[in-house]
Amino acid sequence: MNKNKDFKWGVTISAAQTEGAYKKDGKGISIWDTFTQKKHKIKDRSDARVATDFYHRYKKDIDLAVNIGLQIFRFSISWPRILPDGSGKVNPKGIEFYNKVIDYCLQSGIEPWVTTYHWDLPQKLQDKGGWCNREIIDWYTTYVTILRDNYAHKVKKWILINEGVVCIGGGYFLGVHAPGKRGIDNFISGVHHILLAQAEGFKVLKQIKGLEVGTALSCTKIEPYRNTNADKKAVNRIDALMNRLFIEPHLGMGYPVDDLPILKRIAKYYKEEDLETLKTNFDFWGIQTYTKQVVKSAWYIPYLRVIQVKPEKRGVETSVMGWETYPEGTQYFLERFSKYNPEKPLWLSECGIALSHNEDDQKRIDYYKKVIDLTQNAISKGVDVKGILLWTLVDNFEWAEGYLPKFGIISLDRNTLQRQMKKSAIWLKKYLEE
Ligand code: BGC
């Protein structure tokens, strides 16, 4: 890729996957703290009580990111660390911790970006229904106001909700993520409330001049298994669900009901003013993509009438996540999403590859080289891409997969908590220095 000095490189991490210190200094319990204690939810029976111990080792991690030459450090704030009960009393030690992280970034010359929500809802709010309770719009807005009042004078780039569709889909529809709820009504109400909350959170942050506020979208390319109308329609349904649901309502386009009629059920949770409230003029969009899915129509599957044809069945290699790694999605989504809102810049706010402990890290280098070329292709077609944030810095707690997938460019010894640069970190450092 031709080096453009305005093109930025950074890294993304999240609180629940890295911080540990799950009860320290007044932090409240999150839905992930609860979920990991339930039987058989996490593949390697692990939890994130220690994780990478970012809470105590943030300086080391920021130093590593700076040493590699990264310019952006995107991290998320743990809602229950700030508000142990989800609302009400603020935890001063929580406020102090993120002040320390932000200040250390600034003094080290790396730009801090804040994600306000990366899936670790306070358990106390889940006890009242979590994202299925419309009151969460107020709870979230109050939380964002606290973050704004404490950090907005120092942090200029904000991402509100990280991958709403994965958070609500995994946690409230499929039950494979915290809080482990299932069902279409949970999903539909959760989607509507999280989008409304995000729209209100945007207004709160934009009261401060000079902030750039965006959202991070999970994007998965969907392809038909067979060249039939039924499979093409199946693609449209899943594409609406996975790729359009979290952008179109914010653009004033409403929900993609035509392609995904089950969304009509949203009417149950809808108030007249919601269409207007949802409209949000984000300053930028974050694209996050890892894999693709091939689907076929299946009349016997409730609601969606679709099944996924797994990569193994198609003779395609999968990563330790059970996914087909698909760097090509970067160019595809950068081009596709730039058409929605051409005047707004895009970021690859996450991208990465999962390897198992015994795979050669050269695969990660090859993956990122591809991402660089594909991003360059998108830029040469006129797409305004500002930068790439890697997922992730240090191998961490990969949700229901535990510690088995290794997404980091730095490895973690889980006994000593020592970090060590992998081949890919060394390669990236060289690339960024050239
Ligand atoms: C999430 C991360 C996650 C990564 C890999 C993204 O969807 O934002 O939290 O670890 O994908 O699964």
Of all protein residues, whose CA lies closest to atom 10 belonging to ligand 1? 398
Question: CA 117 → CA 70, 160, 397, distances in Å?
Answer: 23, 6, 17
> Which of 76, 391, 399, 406 should be mutated for ligand 1, with most atoms under 8 A from CB?
391
Exposure string over 137-173, b if 16+ CB within 10 A, otherwise e: bebbbebbbbbbebbbeebebbbbbbbbbbbbbbbbb
350 is catalytic: yes
Angle between helix axes 54-68 and 92-108 (nearest 10 degrees) is 20
Report H helices in 38-91.
Answer: 54-68, 79-82
pLDDT of the residue at 169 = 98
Question: CA 207 → CA 95, 117, 204, 372, distances in Å?
Answer: 20, 19, 6, 36
The Å distance, Cα 299 to ligand 1 centre, comes to 30
Query: Is the pLDDT score of 1 beyond 70?
Result: no
Of all protein residues, whose CA lies closest to atom 12 belonging to ligand 1? 398
Instruction: Report the alpha-carbon distance of residue 92 to residue 96 in Å, rounded.
Output: 6
pLDDT of the residue at 407 = 98
The percent of residues above 90 in pLDDT, for the chain, comes to 98
Q: pLDDT (tens digit, 9 = 90+) per residue, 287-330?
A: 999 999 999 999 999 999 999 999 999 999 999 999 999 999 99
Lowest mean pLDDT among 1-15, 32-46, 351-365: 1-15
Query: Is the pLDDT score of 112 beyond 90?
Result: yes
Among 19, 324, 350, 398, the active-site one is: 350
| Ligand 1 atom with the shortest distance to the CA of 391 | 4
> Which of 166, 215, 393, 395 should be mutated for ligand 1, with most atoms under 8 A from CB?
166
Q: What letter would DSSP give residue 172?
A: I
> Which of 350, 396, 406 should be mutated for ligand 1, with most atoms under 8 A from CB?
350
Q: 214, 249, 234, 217: which is closest to 113 by C-alpha?
A: 214
Q: For the chain, how long is the longest CA-to-CA vector?
A: 59
Residues 6+ apart with CB under 8 A from 155: 102, 112, 113, 114
pLDDT of the residue at 312 = 95
The Å distance, Cα 13 to ligand 1 centre, comes to 9
The sign of the CA dihedral 373, 374, 379, 385 is negative
Of all protein residues, whose CA lies closest to atom 3 belonging to ligand 1? 398
Query: What average pLDDT does the chain have?
Result: 98
Query: Is the pLDDT score of 233 beyond 60?
Result: yes
Band of pLDDT at residue 4, cut at 50, 70 and 90? confident
Query: Is the pLDDT score of 2 beyond 80?
Result: no
Q: pLDDT (tens digit, 9 = 90+) per residue, 156-173?
A: 999 999 999 999 999 999
Band of pLDDT at residue 80, cut at 50, 70 and 90? very high
Band of pLDDT at residue 3, cut at 50, 70 and 90? low
Angle at 167 between CA 257 and CA 314, to 5 degrees: 75
The ligand 1 site (C-beta within 6 Å) comprises: 14, 17, 162-163, 166, 218, 288, 350, 391, 398, 407
Band of pLDDT at residue 5, cut at 50, 70 and 90? confident
Q: pLDDT (tens digit, 9 = 90+) per residue, 350-386?
A: 999 999 999 999 999 999 999 999 999 999 999 999 9
